[in-house]
Amino acid sequence: MNQTRLYPLRFDPIYQYRLWGGRHLASLLSTPLPGDGPIGEAWVLSDRSDHQSLVANGPLKGQTIGRLMEQCREQLMGKFAPRFRRFPLLLKFLDAHKMLSVQVHPSDAYPDLIPAGETGKTEAWVVIEAEKKSHIYAGLKAGTTADDLRHSIAGGAIADCLVGIVPKPGDAVFIPAGTVHTLGGGVVVFEAQQNSDVTFRLYDWGHVDAKTGKPRPLQVNQAFACIDFEGSAGGLVTSRVEANMPVERERLFDCEPFQLWRLLGQASFPVGTAGEPRVLVCIGGSGQLEHAKIPYAVGKGDVWLLPAEVGVCAFHPSPQATLLEIAIHGS
């Protein structure tokens, strides 16, 4: 495989049952939803041992992202090849029909709370759809103490301690590790995060899992151990426009694990960069990605990995498109 010349790689979603999920992802992604139950997450690029994304196009169709990382890491990762043995980001769409548990993720500063092989977990959301009843909570209100939070949990009033956001499409919300957060009420977001699955639940709104007939377990003590009570940088962010031509390019997030831009264009524009991988996510419209004079059709919801050796490609909207472009930190 390491003799194969890499090219733009498309991945199909891995759908995940979640009791708080819905069926909204059916209108966002082209791959049909399984069954008729609640689907809360679509893992669209995952290098996890239990959920491996599969290449969906070209000569490498059917290969896992993990196998690519083993067999052609330098071609795929470029300057990041020495740093990462697995792809360091986990990318998802979330359909939060009901409220998620109120939760927190640890940072790497708490190794005793992180299982072997995992890392801390900073994440970020871009709102795709929202309803009038949608809610996002990101961070504690100023001055909230550990005692305040414990009392609010005991009294079922935890929302009184949280910073609330009324989301609308296009909003960008940053959730650094240590930030108490949740979302729900019919909101759909794209999520970029560190490749970690460590979550501690503080409160679960009385949810009962229909599959088990029981509430889900909480991890209150672990959560309190890693909450940032001093005030984090989480919450609604203000984008920064970096260019208007040939594409409107907004930087939404620039944090330790990743950078993320939103691109809105009607004329052809470049994507990707030399010597490092980039991920493209189409969240609106459609178009064609062109590499080595070969066109690749891109539709809403599609996720493409541009390997480092692919470098810069051209994107041709038809007639317009909105993309997210994601880079590993260090660009």
Residue whose tokens read 């103490």: 145
Phi-psi region of 314 (alpha: psi -120 to 50; beta: other; left: phi over 0): beta
Q: For residue 156, how many other CB atoms are within 10 A of its CB?
A: 11
Select which of 10, 18, 201, 262 is catalytic: 201
Could you tell me if 188 and 28 are in contact, meaning their C-beta atoms sit under 8 angstroms apart? Answer: yes
Q: In Å, what is the CA distance from 178 to each residue of 8, 24, 56, 195, 234?
A: 35, 29, 36, 16, 9
**Beta bridge partner(s), residue 201:** 103
150 is catalytic: no
Q: Residue 82, exposed/middle/buried by CB under 10 A (0-12, 13-18, 19+)?
A: exposed
Query: Which residues belong to the active site?
Result: 201
